[in-house]
Structures are given as structure tokens and as C-alpha cells.
Amino acid sequence: MSESEFLRHEPCPSCGSSDANSLYSDGHSYCFSCHTYTPGEDAVEHIHQMTTSISMRGSAERLHKRRISEKVCKQYHIHKDGQVLRFYYFSESGVLEGCKSKTKDKLFTYEGNVPGTLFGQHLFPATGKRVVITEGELDAASCQEAMPGWPMVSLPSGAASAKKAIQRAIPWLQGYEEIVLFFDNDAPGRKAAEEAASVLPPGKVKIASLKDDYKDASDALSNNDSDALRRAIWDAREYRPDGIVDGKSLLELVTTPTPPADHEYPFRGIQNKLHGIRYGELVTITAGSGIGKSSFCRELATDLLNKGERVGYLALEESNRRTALGLMSAAVGKSLHIGEHDRKTLTDAYEKTLADWNLYLFDGFGSFDPDLIYNRIEYLATGLDAKVIFLDHLSILLSGLDGDERRMIDTTMTRLRSLVERTGVAMFLVSHLRRTSNDTPHEEGARVTLGQLRGSAAIAQLSDGVIALERDQQATSKRGDTTVRILKNRYSGEVGVACNLSYDLASCKFNETQAEPEFDATTDF
């Protein structure tokens, strides 16, 4: 049985490191960043046994290429022994316990006890203003060169064991007011810093990072850029778990001018109340059955499409032919979806609308699997850059689920709200109303309230705006007009009747009329 020999450094497929993976002549490889061992076909079995006693070998010398002085090597007990570097580890009380050796080919071995402390920990008191923890021993020594006298220590086994090493050192670290994690400038290093920070006392941890020119602290000092090390440590950002944002960091966000809206509503009364359509908002449209929710959505969509907006339209209750003809009808002012029309008429309408619009429809082939629909909405937003999404309607989306309706609506609204926030789209969601105990049903003009949204309070809570349509289907003349009522308005708080709309069946258009003042008991007597 022969020992395998080191061949070369390669990228690591496990952690993504560019050169930490070492390949040997028998085919096995070992990554010194993430500690992943991959056996080869003719791999030699190695047995590592820790010795019970060790003695110092080699001597502290200046490391010219690393620009680390003899003084710092003596301080940290970094010895050069031929082509091998030895890093000696001590207990907190200063007793020599082990040695980590590194060959020129980055082969690491241990003698004595496995390090139970951070490298260099014995050199500094268990109390102080600030301590810096690096990923490797040479990084700690490099930082000491840049900032002499500062407590600079390192992990004993790299990024892969960062969390465990930090946990063991917590009793010692608790005495410091500030703990700076200064790990390698790569994905494993950044991940290790986040994991290590999560187990340290809240409010004490900062994470330092180098500019992209350097891999780690030793690399920066080797390039004679000690200023980069000092800047990284001084400018270390305070660690906060995901989701926590310091208000002081929001200057650019709050001072960048933004328009009050990205589009205006086509109806002046609604525009005056809601002050426009904004990306990143979820607006629910509700009404009784047959009142005109879908027609109202088509009117909004065609107005946006004619302005050049990119629109995603998911009409789950009808075919794409019906949706397309409905949108074309609203745009050209002719009921193309009713009766027979010759091909030329339809082609002319198509050329004026669909052929020129940035419109994307959903063809679910009769499938209402919610996960599929969420996926397609996200693709519309991120893959096709659709800025406004219409989803008609919520009840059909829920039909693909089994269970308690209220819980399903809670979950669905939370997912839709999250999707809107994540993608930044404006979404119009159609929702049904539950039947009331009043004598007058919604189909005969009953007033709509937020509490009547079907199934769950989450619809109202998670919507930025709620628009209700009220109409008596059996009425004639003016009494058959649709009253548009704003039930919720997170932007400005203005609610109430916005306008009246009359629908022309011949042109498939809504015509706006001014709403009659509502009765007010405080002023009308």
C-alpha cells in the first residue's frame, strides 16, 4: 500500500471555493474550506492518531511573502519548520496543548489535543473593548500586523466549524463589548459569519468584509494593503438577523423622490379617493354575483394596456377566448363576445388591441392547483416583467384546496401578499361576498361592508385597498347604475362612495357619473 501524493488545487463542488479542494494521486480529494472528503477509486485508508505530548519544532521567522514579521510570529507561536508551518495552540492558562501543521500544498495535520480554544486566545485577557475573530491563523497574524496590540484570534478549523468553535469560546468572548467576525471573502466565509453571529450575544456582533480584490486578510496584507484591513475592521457592520433594518440605513430609501402613483384610474371619482394605482399594492375588488366585477377589471386592464403597461391576466372562470374578446370589446367599444362577427371585424379589432398590447394570459387547462398558479404569477412578474396582475377570482383559486375555508383564505392571502411584496407588482384580486342576513341581498343593491368579504378577515387586512361595486340588477334607469364604494384605503385613508358607473351593453364601456351625496344624520336634519 503506497501513500497518495498531492497533485493540485481545484474548485470545491460542495462549497464553491476556488482553490481549497486538494486532489491526490489516488483520486481522493479534500476541501480545507468546508472539510468535504471525497474518496477516490484507489483511495488509501489513513489513520490519524493524536499524540499525547508535543514539543515545539522549528522557529519563529519572518514570513516574507505574507509580510508577517518575526515579532508577530513569536507572539502567536507560528513556527517555520522547513516547508511546514506550525501553529501552536495553548489553553486559556497558557499551557501548550496542540499543534496544527500546514504544508506548502495545504495539507493540514494535528498533533496533541484537538484545539479547544481559538488560536491566540491565550494571548489576550477575557475582557476588553473589541476582539477580532478571523477564519485562519495567518489572517489573525496579518490583522495583528495592521493593528498592533488589538486582540486578534482565529478559528481553529476554518469556516466549516465556525459555529461550534465560537460556542466553545462564548465564556471568554462575553467579556468583550464588541466582537468582530472577519472571515474569508467567499460564500462559505459569509455563511459561516452569519451562523457564528447567530449564537453570540445580541447587539455585540459586527461583521467585517474586504473589498472584492482580496480573498482574506492574509491576501490583503500580502499585497501590502494593510489599510484595507483597518478599513474592514473599522467599517464592520452590525449584525442583525434577516428582517431587522436600522432606520439610520434608510436615508436613500426615504429621500428618493417617488411619484404618488404609477398609473391613474380611468374613473375620476376612484382616482380622487385612491390617488392612483401603485406597484407593490394589492387591491381587492368585490361585489355580489353578476354585478360586473369582471367587466370592471377588463375596463381597468384595457386602460393600462393602451398606456403600454405590461399586464398579466388570470381569469380562472373563463376561457382565454372569452377573456381576450372581453378585453378587445372594452378597448374598441363593441361587444365582440356577443353574437356572430365576421373575420375582418375581429381581425381589425385584434390588430388594434392584442397585436399591440403587452398582455399575458394564463391557460391552466382546467387545473386550479394553487401552487401552479402562484408559480405562474411569479413568472409573469419576474420572467415577463408584467407590472400589473389581475386574478379573477379568489374562490376559484381556493377550489384546488381541501380544508377549512377560513384557514385556506388566510394562507392564500398571506402568500399573495408576500408575492406582491417580493415582486413589486400591482395586483387586482377579485373576491366574492358572503350572503347577509339582511332582507336585501347584494344582487338587489344592498350596501357592501368590509365584514361581508367572504370567508376571512385576512382579505381586508392584507389588502391595500378594497373597492366594492353595488347595483340593483332588477332596477331600471338611474337606479340601475353601479355605485363604487371604497371600503379600505391604506394610502390616504379616504373611504366612502367614489362615483356611480353606468354600463353600456352595446359599447362594453362604463360611463362615470357623479355620486349622489350620502345621507348624513349629523347635517341633514
Q: Side-chain half-sphere of 142: how many Cα atoms within 13 Å?
A: 31
Q: How confident is the model at residue 139 (pLDDT cuts 50, 70, 90)?
A: very high
**Residue 88: which of 35, 143, 154, 33 has the closest Cα?**
154
Name, in order, each residue with C-beta under 8 angstroms of 125's C-beta and a sequence gap of 6 or more: 151, 175
pLDDT score, position 498: 95
d(CA 302, CA 354) in angstroms, rounded, equals 10
Region 268-286 average pLDDT = 96
Say if residues 1 and 43 touch (Cβ distance below 8 Å): no
pLDDT score, position 137: 96
Residues 119-135: pLDDT tens digits?
Answer: 999 999 999 999 999 99
pLDDT score, position 35: 56
Region 502-520 average pLDDT = 78
d(CA 455, CA 398) in angstroms, rounded, equals 11
Side chain identity, residue 427: M
Comparing 48-57, 76-85, 307-316, 430-439, the range with the smallest average pLDDT is 48-57
- Strand 426-431 relative to strand 108-112, pairing: unpaired
Region 410-415 average pLDDT = 87
pLDDT score, position 454: 75
Its pTM surpasses 0.75: no
Name, in order, each residue with C-beta under 8 angstroms of 164's C-beta and a sequence gap of 6 or more: none
d(CA 151, CA 176) in angstroms, rounded, equals 10
Question: Which alpha helices (DSSP H) does 399-506 contain, by range?
Answer: 405-423, 458-462
pLDDT score, position 523: 40
Q: How confident is the model at residue 368 (pLDDT cuts 50, 70, 90)?
A: low
Whether residue 264 is predicted with pLDDT greater than 90 in this model: the reply is yes
Say if residues 490 and 502 touch (Cβ distance below 8 Å): no
Residues 376-396: pLDDT tens digits?
Answer: 888 999 889 999 999 987 877
The residue behind cell 359599447 is: 507
pLDDT score, position 192: 92
Side chain identity, residue 181: L
- DSSP 8-state symbol, 41: T
Comparing 92-101, 248-257, 261-270, 293-302, the range with the smallest average pLDDT is 248-257
**Residue 135: which of 191, 202, 62, 70 has the closest Cα?**
191
Residues 476-495: pLDDT tens digits?
Answer: 665 568 999 999 999 999 99
E strand or H helix at 219: helix 217-222
Sort 168 into a burial class: Cβ within 10 Å, 0-12 / 13-18 / 19+.
middle
Side chain identity, residue 68: I
d(CA 92, CA 185) in angstroms, rounded, equals 29
